[in-house]
Amino acid sequence: MAFSYTTAADRSGQAVRWLALFMLVLLAGCAGRPTLETRDTASLSMQQALIVSTARNALGAPYQWGGTTLRGLDCSGLALLSYRTAGIALPRTSNQQFQALPRRDRAQPGDLLFFGPRGRATHVGIYIGNQRMVHAPGTGRTVRVSDITKRYWRHHFLGAAGPRS
């Protein structure tokens, strides 16, 4: 019969290996999310101004799943309405919009901000400048302005996208 003994050095080495593995997993999880960076410009293009203006005009509109008018909007319906006003066609859902538009390294007013788990956009808002977005947050709520520096938005951010320049 064989006995095995673990020394303090063995246990210490195991602890170091587990700590190193934990740190690797933690860093890998952080590396997968883009950072939410913005670039506010002094002057907006006509398209950007129309998108931002339409989004602001929707403030207070009730949330309605599948809604695309001021009588009721969901998040992707708000993006669709705002971009349509500027003469830009968009797909209907937030994930389709995320896939269709060119990505931005830094969001500019009028760009769309996408949020969701595992690379799939489940929410979209319109960046209006000053670290704020207009979005339709969900059932029982109305279209509103939110601060994108909040932990929730930073943690769920997938990317920014906008029309071709």
The position carrying tokens 């170091």 is 16
- Active site annotation includes 155: no
* Proportion of the chain in helix, strand, coil states, percent, rounded to 5: 35, 20, 40
- Active site annotation includes 30: no
Q: Which of 30, 135, 155, 156 is catalytic?
A: 135
Contacts for 77 with CB less than 8 Å, ≥ 6 apart? 64, 66, 67, 68, 69, 136
- Active site annotation includes 75: yes
The position carrying tokens 């969001």 is 107
Catalytic residues: 75, 123, 135
